[in-house]
Amino acid sequence: MLKQKLVTTTVAAMLAFGVAQVQAADMLQKIGKGEGRVDIVAWPGYIERGETDPNFDWVTSFEKKTGCMVNIKTANTSDEMVALMNEGGFDLVTASGDASLRLVAGKRVQAVNVKLVPSWNSVDKRLQSAPWHTVNGVHYGVPYMWGPNVLMYDTRAFKEAPKSWNVVFEETTLGDGKTNKGRVQAYDGPIHVADAANYLMYHNKELGIKNPYELNEDQYKAALDLLRGQRKLVSRYWHDAFIQMDDFKNEGVVASGSWPFQVNILQSEKHPVASTIPQEGATGWADTTMLHSEAEHPNCAYLWMEHTLSSNLQSDLSVWFGANPSVPAACTDGRGMQTAAGCSANGLDDFERIRFWTTPVSKCKTQESCVPYYRWVSDYIGVIGGR
């Protein structure tokens, strides 16, 4: 939680006024000789070199081809990623939408010259100029993976897939005849406020919420009130995917917002879980590989960004993480493990139902003024603390 406080102090003022005035930094115009290494901050499971499973390795071939040794620092939350990028010493980060605009506003990342990324045109057109990495028409990264925040549930506690997120937001009796109190989890990150807003957007239409990341004071208060009620139900706020999986296996947790990554691993271990996107839809993440403004190894970084768009990497990562590739051909071209059916199972057809993580700013589009992210951080710390 201390890191969350530290993160906001550097960019809170800029976020309060939006990021529209950010100017493009000087972009690399030509890729030179690789510097021999590239340092990357990444989500767990995003960059594999075969150590977890020898079938999943998209690092070794890159290192042999380019001579750029890949060094990985994993981060479990967007706030942790922002903190690490603020500290420096990294070339790239796989940033979600609730971190990317903060990094742009804080001038922690630089504009990317997509002409130096030959596979750019293979990227899903819906992602190429997405607002979470494009400012004033300038690209600040290369799309990597995207997916929904699914509702993961224990099939022993539910006779059928939950139809609503109410099973984690409101006290209720589950299919096994027991209460959900003490048996559910919530995400340990301020962006979870958007999950509450998304729920209210469906059930409390009189609030007038049009975008779960753009909340006026009344809408924001309603979301916080819902989260305070959820606090009474939650056994643990999770941010570590592996701890969440252990809680489902050993601590009696039966329902939580989660990622397909955890669902896939638990199912591979024959644990009785499944996932769904309930009637309210879901928030989600579309992650972007972004280049640090003071990257020490920019040539290797550009070579890595191009490597990430190869359809075999995109395909295998899609299988491994349970996500959707930013290169649609990776679902069908047979160069990797993924198939059209697999991409569909990962939520490829649900793109329009997903409200992707975006950094909340005060100058918003759907109304005159919105509650900016630094308030989400401080208030969510209070919610978790029982205030």
Q: What is the pLDDT of residues 48-61, one digit of tens each?
A: 999 989 999 999 99
Look at residues 334, 333, 331 and name the one whose alpha carbon lies nearest to residue 323: 331
Cβ count near 193 (within 10 Å): 27
As given in the structure block, the two tokens for residue 79 are 């706030």
At 260, is the pLDDT very low, low, confident or very high (cuts 50, 70, 90)? Answer: confident
Look at residues 183, 192, 198, 145 and name the one whose alpha carbon lies nearest to residue 320: 145
The domain in which residue 336 lies consists of: 2-147+285-350
Regarding whether 187 and 57 lie in a shared domain, the answer is: no
Q: Structurally, how many domains does the chain consist of?
A: 2
Q: Are 96 and 73 in contact (CB under 8 A)?
A: no
Q: What is the DSSP letter of 235?
A: E
Residues forming a β-bridge with 138: 135
Give the model's pLDDT for residue 3: 39
For residue range 363-377, list pLDDT tens digits in order: 998 999 999 999 999
As given in the structure block, the two tokens for residue 213 are 């990341």
Regarding whether 67 and 127 lie in a shared domain, the answer is: yes
Environment class of 315 (CB within 10 Å of its CB; exposed 0-12, middle 13-18, buried 19+)? buried
d(CA 293, CA 140): 10
Count of all residues that appear for the chain in the document: 387
Look at residues 115, 233, 129, 136 and name the one whose alpha carbon lies nearest to residue 185: 233
d(CA 171, CA 174): 9
Regarding whether 372 and 328 lie in a shared domain, the answer is: no
Helix, strand, coil abundance in the chain, percent, nearest 5: 40, 20, 40
CATH of the domain at 269: 3.40.190.10
Regarding whether 143 and 39 lie in a shared domain, the answer is: yes
d(CA 191, CA 195): 8
Regarding whether 289 and 245 lie in a shared domain, the answer is: no
At 20, is the pLDDT very low, low, confident or very high (cuts 50, 70, 90)? Answer: very low
Regarding whether 90 and 143 lie in a shared domain, the answer is: yes
| Residue 299, in any domain of the structure | yes
Regarding whether 208 and 114 lie in a shared domain, the answer is: no
| Residue 195, in any domain of the structure | yes
Residue 111 has pLDDT above 80, yes or no: yes
Q: Are 170 and 204 in contact (CB under 8 A)?
A: no
Regarding whether 13 and 143 lie in a shared domain, the answer is: yes
Regarding whether 108 and 27 lie in a shared domain, the answer is: yes
Q: What is the C-alpha end-to-end distance of the chain, expressed in Å?
A: 15
Q: What is the DSSP letter of 46?
A: S
Q: Are 260 and 346 in contact (CB under 8 A)?
A: yes
Mean pLDDT value of segment 93-113: 94
Q: β-strand 354-356 against 282-292: which pairing, if any?
A: parallel
Mean pLDDT value of segment 13-17: 42
| Residue 334, in any domain of the structure | yes
Regarding whether 7 and 129 lie in a shared domain, the answer is: yes
